[in-house]
């Protein structure tokens, strides 16, 4: 199996590292900055005998190296700076993604596309529009990351292993995301029985602000360890046909009462990409919040379409 990772910055390079060292796929790492992808790929290749894997990884500036890719992960674009929202990146990253997808489709037209570039739900919309691929084969990595943050914060609060926390975050990848507190559990116990409502609301808000909190701390970059782990889990489920259920930004066409909008919902990921969109029962408040989140995505897409003409 072969994966192309577009963008050799922190997210892209760490994703490439996780893919080869996890023995998931061979990797082609591509970046427009001369020497960046080639240098990082060579460094990772030299680590292989120490880590103990036989995967191949090479890097370059030409998209021709993506030929034959089963999956393409797009991380390229400018990162947020303190005080910026994900939507502030719209025009710059929208144009970057448009060019990348055109290049990829010319050499790897059958690849499944996974978007990581922000604003995530909008760039995924752009990728589908440019590629002409069906919705099963174009998706965005956001729900896996937002869910991991929610689980981590619950684990920190309760002093338990975050891996024991079962939870899910739906909606757009932004301030309108919808952490599902009503169905979250720890070892089967509802978190609503373990955390008082006011404190739980603070944890939910911290989840929404999870990326901004890291941007504020780093000052010169944004998160990359958790995002790369999220996209690696998605790629692994697809290439190994594991059919894992996880929240993914996917085009809804009537599911959850939402039409023609990319938002994060639980899906089954397998060899065909999105094998099934799973509709879970939501409370009235959660359902209203999900629809509001979808409306924000629609408004941002409309802004892109208006400004990019």
Domains, the chain: 2-140 (3.40.50.720), 143-307 (3.90.110.10)
- Note every long-range contact of 52-57, with CB atoms under 8 Å and residues 24 or more positions apart, other chains counting: 53/20, 53/21, 53/23, 54/23, 55/19, 55/20, 55/21, 55/23, 55/24, 55/25, 55/26, 55/27, 56/20, 56/26, 56/27, 57/16, 57/20, 57/26, 57/27, 57/28, 57/29
pTM: 0.94
Bridge partners, residue 165, by sequence = 186
Residue recorded with tokens 């489920």: 237
Q: Is 15 exposed, middle or buried (0-12, 13-18, 19+ CB in 10 A)?
A: buried
Rounded to an integer, what is the distance from CA 151 to the centroid of its chain? 16
| Residue given tokens 């995967």 in the structure block | 55
Tokens of 5: 């990772």
Q: What are the pLDDT digits (tens) for 175-233? A: 888 999 989 999 999 999 999 999 999 999 999 999 999 999 998 888 999 999 999 99
Cβ atoms 7, 37 nearer than 8 A: no
Kindly report the number of other CB atoms within 10 A of residue 64's CB atom: 12
Mean pLDDT, contiguous 10-residue spans, the chain (309 residues) = 97 98 97 97 98 97 97 88 69 92 97 94 95 96 93 97 95 87 93 96 94 91 93 98 96 95 96 96 92 92 84
Q: Indicate which residues carry an active-site annotation.
A: 173
Burial class of residue 253, CB neighbours in 10 A (0-12, 13-18, 19+): exposed
- Quick: pLDDT tens for 43-65: 999 999 999 999 999 999 999 99
């Amino acid at each position: 199996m072969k994966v192309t990772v577009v963008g050799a910055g922190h997210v892209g390079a760490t994703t490439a590292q996780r893919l080869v060292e996890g023995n998931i796929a061979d990797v082609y790492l591509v970046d427009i900055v001369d020497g960046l992808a080639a240098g990082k790929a060579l460094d990772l290749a030299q680590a292989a005998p120490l880590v103990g894997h036989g995967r191949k990884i090479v890097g370059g500036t030409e998209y021709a190296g993506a030929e034959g890719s089963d999956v393409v992960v797009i991380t390229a674009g400018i990162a947020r700076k303190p005080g910026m929202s994900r939507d502030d990146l719209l025009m710059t990253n929208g144009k970057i993604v448009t060019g990348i997808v055109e290049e990829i489709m010319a050499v790897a037209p059958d690849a499944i596309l996974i978007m990581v570039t922000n604003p995530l739900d909008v760039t995924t919309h752009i990728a589908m529009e440019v590629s002409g691929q069906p919705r099963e084969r174009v998706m965005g990595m956001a729900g896996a990351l937002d869910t991991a943050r929610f689980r981590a914060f619950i684990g920190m609060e309760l002093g338990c292993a975050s891996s024991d926390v079962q939870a899910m975050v739906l909606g757009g990848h932004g301030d309108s995301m919808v952490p599902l507190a009503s169905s979250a559990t720890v070892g089967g116990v509802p978190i609503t029985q373990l955390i008082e409502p006011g404190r739980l609301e603070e944890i939910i808000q911290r989840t929404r602000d999870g990326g901004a909190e890291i941007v504020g701390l780093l000052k010169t970059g944004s998160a990359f360890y958790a995002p790369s782990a999220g996209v690696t889990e998605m790629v692994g489920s697809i290439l190994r046909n594991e059919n894992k259920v996880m929240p993914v930004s996917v085009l809804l066409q009537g599911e959850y009462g939402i039409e023609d909008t990319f938002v994060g919902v639980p899906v089954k990921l397998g060899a065909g990409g999105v094998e099934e969109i799973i509709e879970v029962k939501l409370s009235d408040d959660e359902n209203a919040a999900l629809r509001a989140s979808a409306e924000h995505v629609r408004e941002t897409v409309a802004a892109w379409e208006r400004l990019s003409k």
